Chain A
């Protein structure tokens, strides 16, 4: 009898303590994340300029427009292109850089510090810097091209190049991050393993292919997922660098949503774009999680 009530009172005190400790976090998340998500879906059913009091309920009109909105799907496609290119470009490059730093050790420290530098800049600063550095007049690429007798290079002003330029700048920004991440992965490989491989007569290349790379696989996997989710939510850098332009050539879902809502003040439709983005991102995240689970159960 006594034991049971003691257990009960302990559980009760745990419950009270947990509630007290958790409530500020839960409260903030309700106010700033959960309520706004519902609210976005609600606003998406209206025509509203964001300022005036009269919201006009239009039902699913905005959603019908969204499904047929070529610019939105173009933006989504750009997100996908950015995602695929980011992984194909940044991962091999980051692995190569990390491998170089791991093999070179202290001798190549200057490379390590230099390669790390972009991580110290914010996305916004990088966006602005490259909007000038890639400009047709007074830009880096144009200057180099002219030094070799070439003409002016218009990277951000024309449709297909602009997207590639953006993808390069994104790689410039994020490759150091994954490089450091893989370098940490390398340092987790015990020195004994390396020594054993070398004593067995393997070359550096064989060590990399048959020992290090398989050991790094989980780290690379995580990096790919981070990059993937990040690419879908991308905003700052592109917004300040190209503003989605020229035209809508470099628009992403987030920049399109932002321009709709806070430039042309079509907040009703902007909310629809945001809600559409939420559905797509969440959907893709869930699919990835599923695939991960399948993979884990196969592996483990």
Chain B
């Protein structure tokens, strides 16, 4: 057998092995999703009697209707309100902060930047009890307003880090020529730097949007009743109500994942890039 054929067989075999291993991980990834979707259409006892990987008797979304009638939409609305307000505040104040950090020279610049970035490695649990205490004192405990402060603050460090390095790539000359034309720092920021930072800001919106949307620890600590709970807490509440009714819980799970899947279909590569934004450390 000549060497060429040998090599070819060897490479074919390697591919075959690779495909088999890839398919194993494929199954490991997909099975839980199939499990979730399929069982969400079953009845409570149908799932236990028929086994989990049988197709449901009917694809009528009884559980979904049930869950929607039991008011999952209120969790959804709270999540949306918290997300929109937090993101609006976060993006405007980090844009403001990143501007001097990236494009001005002043004495404490490095110290301030180091302090902000150091916030990235603080475990939120260290702040949980004092923030809980603060929110009861301020009377915002068990309302969505309690969540906005912590959500904004704990996304500041990574946001400033990303946006500062983004703004640093805008050429100096743009700003200088504006300054010669008589723009002050504030005009510069609003009419030159901010419009040029749009793509950096959209990456931040996706990255932080996803983490705020999914946040659990603060939400679980600072809210208690249905008039304030956000979507990540919905699963827990429904679990309390439907202890043994697994298919209903599966329906809730599917509903909480749907917005992300929709986002993925609409944004695709942009979402992927946004999710990766946190890993860009040099």
Residues of A within 8 A of B (CB): 11, 13-15, 17-18, 21-22, 24-26, 28-29, 31-33, 35-37, 39-40, 43, 50, 93, 96-97, 100, 103, 108, 111, 114-125, 128-130, 132-133, 137-140, 143, 172, 176-177, 180-181, 184, 203-205, 222-223, 225-226, 229, 232-233, 235-236, 239-240, 253-254, 257-258, 261-262, 267, 270-271, 274-275, 277-278, 281-282, 285
Q: Which residues of A contact B121 (CB under 8 A)?
A: 229, 281-282, 285
Return chain B residues, CB-CB under 8 Å to A28: 93, 149, 152-153, 156
- Does B276 contact A184, Cβ atoms closer than 8 Å? yes
The complex places the Cα of A115 from the Cα of B153 at a distance, in Å, of 32
Binding site for A on B (CB under 8 A): 7, 11, 14, 18, 21-22, 25-26, 28-33, 35-36, 47-48, 51-53, 93-94, 96-97, 99-101, 104-107, 109, 112, 115-116, 119, 121-134, 149-150, 152-154, 156, 160, 184-186, 189, 213-214, 216-217, 221, 232, 235-236, 239, 246, 249-250, 253, 256-257, 260-261, 264, 272, 275-276, 278-279, 281
User: What are 17 residue pairs bridging A and B, where the CB atoms are less than 8 Å apart in the complex?
Assistant: A35-B130, A39-B133, A50-B129, A100-B18, A119-B275, A122-B214, A123-B216, A124-B214, A124-B216, A128-B239, A129-B36, A226-B279, A258-B128, A258-B217, A262-B132, A271-B129, A285-B121
How near does chain B come to A287, taking the closest CB pair, in angstroms? 12
Q: What CA separation (Å) do A109 and B260 show in the bound complex?
A: 20
Residue of A18, A93, A278 near B123 (CB, 8 A) is A278
Q: Is the CB of A140 within 8 A of B32?
A: yes
C-alpha gap A67/B84 in the complex (Å): 43
Given known contacts A115-B25, A138-B52, A257 and B235 CB-to-CB distance under 8 angstroms: no
Instruction: From A32, A120, A124, give the contact of B153 (CB < 8 A).
Output: A32
- Residues of B near A270 (CB, < 8 A) are 129
Q: Is B246 in contact with A122, judged by CB distance below 8 angstroms?
A: no
Which residues from chain A contact B116 at a C-beta distance below 8 Å?
25, 29
Residues of B within 8 A of A275 (CB): 126
B130 close to A181 (CB less than 8 A):
no
Q: Which of A22, A124, A129, A277 is in CB contact (< 8 Å) with B112?
A: A22
Chain A residues closer than 8 Å to B125, beta-carbon distance: 233, 235, 253-254, 257-258, 274, 277
Complex Cα–Cα for A115 and B23 (A) = 10
Q: Are A22 and B97 in contact, with the CB atoms below 8 A?
A: yes
Among A29, A120, A184, A254, the residue within 8 A (CB) of B119 is A29
User: Whole-angstrom distance from the CB of B20 to the nearest CB of chain A?
Assistant: 11
* Chief secondary structure at chain B's binding surface: helix
Question: Which 5 residue pairs are nearest across A and B when measured between Cβ atoms?
Answer: A122-B214, A36-B127, A36-B130, A32-B153, A39-B130
Are B52 and A140 in contact, CB atoms less than 8 angstroms apart?
Answer: yes
A13 touches B185 (CB 8 A): yes
Q: Which residues of A contact B256 (CB under 8 A)?
A: 122, 125
A residues within 8 A CB of B101?
Answer: 22
How many angstroms between the C-alpha atoms of A125 and B254 in the bound complex? 9
Known: A137-B48, A222-B281. 5 other contacts (CB 8 A): A17-B100, A40-B127, A120-B264, A133-B32, A240-B216
| Residues of A with C-beta under 8 A to B109 | 18
Q: Would you call A25 and B94 a contact (CB within 8 A)?
A: yes
Given A115-B25, A138-B246, A32 and B154 contact (CB-CB distance below 8 Å) = yes
Residues in A neighbouring B30, C-beta threshold 8 A = 114, 117
Does the CB pair B22–A100 fall under 8 Å? yes
Q: A31-B153, A32-B153, A33-B119 are in contact. Are A274 and B128 (CB under 8 A)?
A: yes
**Which residue of chain B has the shortest Cβ distance to A219 in the bound complex?**
B279
List, in ascending order, chain B residues with CB within 8 A of A121's CB.
257, 260
> In the complex, what residues of A have CB within 8 A of residue B132's CB?
50, 262
Closest CB in chain A relative to B94 CB, distance in Å: 7
Q: Is the CB of B213 within 8 A of A36?
A: no
Of B156, B189, B235, the residue contacting A124 (CB under 8 A) is B235
A93: nearest chain-B partner, CB-CB = B25
Pick the contact of A43 from B21, B130, B257, B275 — CB < 8 Å? B130
Looking across the interface, which residue of chain B has its beta carbon closest to that of A42?
A: B130
Instruction: Please report the C-alpha to C-alpha distance between residue A69 and residue B123 in the assembled complex, in whole angstroms.
Output: 21
Inter-chain CA distance A133–B18, complex, in Å, is 27
Which residues from B are CB-within-8-Å of A285? 121
Complex CA distance for A282 and B149, rounded to whole angstroms: 23
Q: Which residue of A lies closest to B235 (CB)?
A: A128
State whether A32 and B253 are in contact (beta carbons under 8 Å apart), knowing that A124-B214, A143-B51 are contacts in the complex: no
Q: Nearest chain B CB to A159's CB is how many angstroms away? A: 24
Alpha-carbon separation in the docked complex, A115 to B115 (Å):
37
Instruction: Tell whether, in the assembled complex, residue B129 and residue A115 are in contact, meaning their CB atoms are under 8 Å apart.
Output: no
Contact between chains at A125 and B127 (CB < 8 Å): no
Min distance, Cβ A280 to any Cβ of chain B, angstroms: 10
| Contact in complex: A277, B156 (CB < 8 Å) | no
Within the complex, the shortest CB–CB distance from A180 to chain B, in Å, comes to 6
Compute how far the CA of A115 lies from the CA of B27 in the bound complex, rounded to whole angstroms.
Answer: 9
Give every chain A residue within 8 A of B127 (Cβ-Cβ): 32-33, 36-37, 40
Residues of chain A lying within 8 A (CB to CB) of residue B53:
143
B97 surroundings in chain A (CB, below 8 A): 21-22, 24-26
Q: Tell which of B112, B185, B257 touches A125, judged by Cβ atoms closer than 8 Å.
A: B257
Residue in chain B with minimal CB distance to A143: B52
